[in-house]
Structure 1
Amino acid sequence: MKTVIFAAAAAAAFAVSAPASAQEAAPFTGAHAEVLAGYDSLDTNGAIGKPDGLLYGLGLGYDFQAGNAVLGIEGEIADSTASRKFVGGEVDAARDLYIGARAGFLIGEQALAYVKAGYTNARIEATGLGGDNGDGVRVGAGLEYKLGGQLFLKGEYRYSNYEADVERHQVVAGLGMRF
């Protein structure tokens, strides 16, 4: 009877510890959510100046780690305080949507260097002209650092190019959690 109880306890302990071991073997695998904040600068290529301000938003994604390589998909929704007054009105950078992919490689056991690319759609509003949605392409690069447990911190630079000769430069920090 003691052998059966011991065997059952050992099997239960192994079953509980196996997912943790498997997770530690690939710490950058799985779904994640993050909050984002940073600097946002819109470049209208001389049309109305360069509105800049604070970017803030949320991101979701899923990564798969194979050895030292990591591939993932991600999506974000963000807004911005970037604004610029000009004669006759004001231009404001509004919501910013993004969906794309990233690829990276591990630096040690806790850091991930990555590049990203994907589709972005931003809304820009101007006094007297209304608002306009612009489709574009975003590319970027960043570094993610595993803090411990499920938490991570990241920093990245991204460049977006939209229709109508509009560009966007962002330097963003994120705090996230893996599931």
Structure 2
Amino acid sequence: MNRYILAALAFAALPATAHAQAYVQVHGGFDSVSVGGESEEGVAYGAAVGYEFPLSENMFAGLEAGYDDSSTKACESDLFVVGDEACLKTGRDLSAVVRLGTNLGARSQLYVLGGYTNARIKATYTDGVDSESEGANGDGFRLGAGYKMSFSDNLYGKIEYRYSNYESDFSRHNALVGLGVSF
């Protein structure tokens, strides 16, 4: 509970300038997940909220919290008996990142990002009669870069690359496009 109060106080302490903007966005794209050297691809999708403020005339910083999910899944059949199946599926991915960037013009920005991420992986096994499942969370770090283009005062689009590295030799690459609203 104390960390939520500290986070609220940190947001309240951010500069309240005329150019500071809060935003919400949706995004989706390519997801490549690697576990133990084996990789699977799927579709990533999610949403984020954030706050961006100027550091100087051409530089800005921001904080962003995101929720993502993915269709990435790997299954193997007939492992122990005919008709059984074992699957490994990615689950939700929560993140908190800091963004630092530069204005390329009146309507475009280039930025880098880095921060914390926590992803869930779920393993299931079905032998044709019974089914068992177990999930685990992995903490890690996220690094990335992106380009943002404003279409109007409040509507923007972006492209972004993200690399996330978690515990137990688990990592992911994302190539995303997004659409957001600033206010």
Could you say which TM-score interval applies, normalised by the shorter chain? 0.7 to 0.9
**Residue type at the aligned position of 1:116:** L
Residues 39-91 of structure 1: CA deviation (Å, up to 9, x unaligned): 11110133xx3122111111000000231001000010011101111244111
Structure ranking higher in helix proportion: 1
1:100 aligns with 2:104: no
What secondary structure does 2:106 align onto? coil
Give TM-score scaled by structure 2 length: 0.79
- 4+ residue runs over 3 A deviation: none
Counterparts of 1:1-179 in structure 2, within 5 Å, are 26=19, 29-46=20-37, 49-65=38-54, 66-86=56-76, 87=79, 88-128=85-125, 130-179=134-183
The 2-side partners of 1:56 and 1:170 are apart by 10
The 2-side partners of 1:94 and 1:52 are apart by 14
CA RMSD of aligned residues (A): 1.4
**Residue type at the aligned position of 1:91:** L
**Residue type at the aligned position of 1:43:** S
Give TM-score scaled by structure 1 length: 0.81
Which structure 2 segments of 5+ residues have no match? 1-16, 80-84, 126-132
C-alpha deviation, 1:113, in angstroms:
0.3
What secondary structure does 2:98 align onto? strand
The 2-side partners of 1:43 and 1:89 are apart by 17
What secondary structure does 1:67 align onto? coil
**Residue type at the aligned position of 1:106:** N
C-alpha deviation, 1:126, in angstroms:
1.2
What secondary structure does 1:148 align onto? coil
C-alpha deviation, 1:141, in angstroms:
0.3
C-alpha deviation, 1:109, in angstroms:
1.2
The alignment-based identity, stated in percent, is 39
The 1-side partners of 2:108 and 2:138 are apart by 34
**Residue type at the aligned position of 1:153:** G
Name the count of aligned residue pairs. 152
What secondary structure does 2:151 align onto? strand
